[in-house]
């Protein structure tokens, strides 16, 4: 049975906003490629997207994303008139000045042949005077109340202001949609890493990018995103994709949800209980397990690490553990006191997890090693244990 979309779904508006954010990354990458290291970009400050200088907009960009077959952009289109209203009211209020500010409409729609929007494309066919005539003709011919505030805002401008406004506008139509914008980002990046790893690289770059936008949209940071910041992060991220490194994705923030419960019945938790680990330290161990489990899975999923390489790392961890565990077994031979066995097991745990072996030379995040030990302790037949008698007591 076919499914019908809910009449009040927020999907289209959410997609439009995500498109705006993703397109902003594409634009700033474009400035980097032009070696414009002074570029500063804001989202939802002066407009959907803006390039700023000294806290004033020098380029303001409106993005319009349409889901299905892109409609023509006509002289009476809501997308055109809603944008004209925003800019007309902004000009009247002095939020930007002309001709110092460029105005851009980026849309996945296509300009209707002979329309005002078509006259405002960049290139030989550009004719701002004709576009103004068509816009005013459409304003006089349009009826209805939906776009009346937009028509009123444009009419409130003087003839000279209307001319300056329309002359400042460039329409970029038939733009790539939200999915195709990823390809545009990939092209703009060139080849910072091996082609097999580009999807994983872009995913992490976008994660950082959206994080930067969030702190600014929330008001925690007021400064624009600078081209130099983006350039530095790309360099930093590239380093984590080297053969002697791996990207770290879960070093901060809440631990990832693994989709299954972790409680007192989990084998690695029971192992830690055998050596008397306190609850507050157990909480950190659970966090390390969650982060390492998710990280190892993501490396494999992104083809940044082969299963046999991860197996080899686990074998090394087990080898490090076995050497110390056998020494503990010898030292506690004949010991039956429960408290003493807890102490020696806890000492083994603390010694190994204080400085665990790294998976690669330049991948030194501690949760990887610590959490990997917990993964090994959590197996149905645990490969490591902390208490001398863990094999008999963990079934």
* pLDDT at residue 25, rounded to an integer: 98
Please name the helix (run of DSSP H) or strand (run of DSSP E) that holds residue 43, with its range, or none. Answer: strand 40-43
Considering the domain architecture, whether residues 160 and 271 belong to the same structural domain is answered as no
Considering the domain architecture, whether residues 144 and 283 belong to the same structural domain is answered as no
Domain-terminating residue out of 188, 223, 242: 188
Using the predicted structure, report yes or no on whether residue 9 has a pLDDT greater than 70.
no
Euclidean distance between CA atoms 164 and 339, whole angstroms? 84
Q: How far is CA 361 from CA 25, 138, 204, 262, 314, in A?
A: 32, 66, 21, 31, 15
Pairing mode of beta strands 40-43, 225-226 = antiparallel
* pLDDT at residue 395, rounded to an integer: 73
pTM of the full predicted structure? 0.88
Considering the domain architecture, whether residues 184 and 289 belong to the same structural domain is answered as no
For 228-260, what is each residue's pLDDT tens digit? 999 999 999 999 999 999 999 999 999 999 999
Pairing mode of beta strands 56-64, 49-53 = antiparallel
Considering the domain architecture, whether residues 174 and 279 belong to the same structural domain is answered as no
Using the predicted structure, report yes or no on whether residue 38 has a pLDDT greater than 60.
yes
Considering the domain architecture, whether residues 142 and 275 belong to the same structural domain is answered as no
Q: 9-23, 125-139, 280-294: lowest mean pLDDT where?
A: 9-23
Select from 92, 167, 82 the least CA-distant residue to 133. Answer: 167
For 316-336, what is each residue's pLDDT tens digit? 999 999 999 999 999 999 999
Q: Is 334 exposed, middle or buried (0-12, 13-18, 19+ CB in 10 A)?
A: exposed
Tell me if 45 sits within 8 A of 89, measured CB to CB: no
Q: Does 219 map to a domain?
A: no
Please name the helix (run of DSSP H) or strand (run of DSSP E) that holds residue 321, with its range, or none. Answer: helix 307-331
Domains of the chain: total: 2
For 191-234, what is each residue's pLDDT tens digit? 999 999 999 999 999 999 999 999 999 999 999 999 999 999 99
Considering the domain architecture, whether residues 40 and 181 belong to the same structural domain is answered as yes
Backbone angles phi and psi of 60, in degrees to 5: -115, 135
* pLDDT at residue 5, rounded to an integer: 43
Domain-terminating residue out of 123, 158, 188: 188
Q: Does 346 map to a domain?
A: yes
Q: Does 217 map to a domain?
A: no
Tell me the sheet residues that pair with 111.
73
Structure tokens at 82: 């809603």
Using the predicted structure, report yes or no on whether residue 7 has a pLDDT greater than 60.
no
* pLDDT at residue 3, rounded to an integer: 42
Q: Does 103 map to a domain?
A: yes
Q: Does 356 map to a domain?
A: yes
Pairing mode of beta strands 72-73, 110-111 = parallel
Question: How many CA atoms are closer than 13 Å to the CA of 53, on its beta-carbon side?
Answer: 10
Considering the domain architecture, whether residues 176 and 311 belong to the same structural domain is answered as no
Euclidean distance between CA atoms 270 and 395, whole angstroms? 10
Give the dihedral sign, CA 359/365/370/372. Answer: negative
Tell me if 49 sits within 8 A of 61, measured CB to CB: yes
Q: Does 242 map to a domain?
A: no
Q: How many CB atoms lie within 10 A of CB 5?
A: 8
Using the predicted structure, report yes or no on whether residue 4 has a pLDDT greater than 50.
no
Parent domain of 126: 11-188
Considering the domain architecture, whether residues 175 and 78 belong to the same structural domain is answered as yes
Q: Does 201 map to a domain?
A: no
**Mean pLDDT for the chain?**
94
Euclidean distance between CA atoms 101 and 168, whole angstroms? 7
For 267-279, what is each residue's pLDDT tens digit? 999 999 999 999 9
Long-range Cβ contacts of 41-49 (<8 Å, 24+ apart):
41/224, 41/225, 41/226, 41/227, 42/216, 42/224, 42/225, 43/213, 43/216, 43/217, 44/217, 45/216, 45/224, 46/90, 46/95, 46/96, 47/86, 47/90, 48/20, 49/20, 49/23, 49/24
Euclidean distance between CA atoms 72 and 78, whole angstroms? 11
């Amino acid at each position: 049975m076919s499914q019908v979309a809910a009449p009040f779904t927020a999907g289209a508006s959410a997609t439009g906003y995500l498109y705006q954010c993703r397109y902003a990354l594409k634009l700033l990458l474009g400035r980097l490629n032009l070696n414009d290291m002074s570029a500063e970009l804001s989202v939802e400050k002066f407009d959907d997207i803006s390039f700023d200088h000294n806290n004033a907009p020098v380029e303001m960009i409106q993005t319009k994303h349409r889901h299905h077959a892109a409609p023509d952009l006509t002289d009476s289109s809501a997308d055109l008139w809603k944008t004209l209203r925003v800019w007309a009211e902004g000009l009247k209020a002095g939020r930007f000045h002309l001709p110092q500010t460029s105005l851009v409409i980026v849309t996945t729609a296509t300009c209707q042949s002979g329309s005002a929007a078509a006259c405002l494309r960049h290139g030989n066919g550009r004719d701002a005077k004709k576009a103004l005539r068509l816009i005013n003709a459409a304003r006089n011919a349009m009826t209805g109340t939906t776009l009346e505030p937009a028509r009123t805002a444009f009419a409130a401008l003087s003839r000279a202001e209307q001319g300056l406004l329309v002359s400042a506008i460039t329409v970029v139509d038939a733009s790539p949609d939200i999915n195709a914008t990823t390809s545009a980002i990939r092209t703009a990046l060139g080849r910072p890493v091996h082609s097999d790893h580009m999807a994983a690289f872009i995913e992490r770059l976008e994660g950082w990018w959206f994080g930067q936008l969030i702190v600014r949209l929330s008001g925690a940071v007021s400064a624009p995103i600078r081209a130099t910041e983006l350039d530095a992060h790309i360099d930093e991220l590239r380093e984590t994709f080297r053969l002697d490194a791996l990207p770290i994705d879960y070093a901060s923030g809440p631990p990832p949800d693994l989709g299954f419960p972790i409680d007192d019945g989990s084998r690695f938790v029971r192992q830690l209980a055998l050596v008397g680990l306190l609850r507050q330290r157990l909480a950190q161990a659970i966090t390390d397990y969650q982060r390492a489990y998710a990280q190892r899975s993501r490396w494999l999923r992104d083809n940044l690490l082969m299963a046999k390489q991860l197996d080899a790392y686990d074998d090394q961890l087990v080898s490090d553990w076995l050497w110390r565990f056998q020494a503990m077994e010898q030292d506690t031979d004949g010991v039956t006191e429960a408290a003493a066995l807890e102490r020696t097991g806890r000492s083994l745990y603390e010694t190994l997890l204080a400085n665990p072996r790294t998976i690669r030379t330049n991948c030194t995040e501690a949760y990887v090693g610590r959490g990997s030990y917990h993964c090994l302790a959590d197996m149905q037949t645990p490969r490591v244990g902390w208490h001398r008698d863990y094999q008999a007591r963990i079934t």
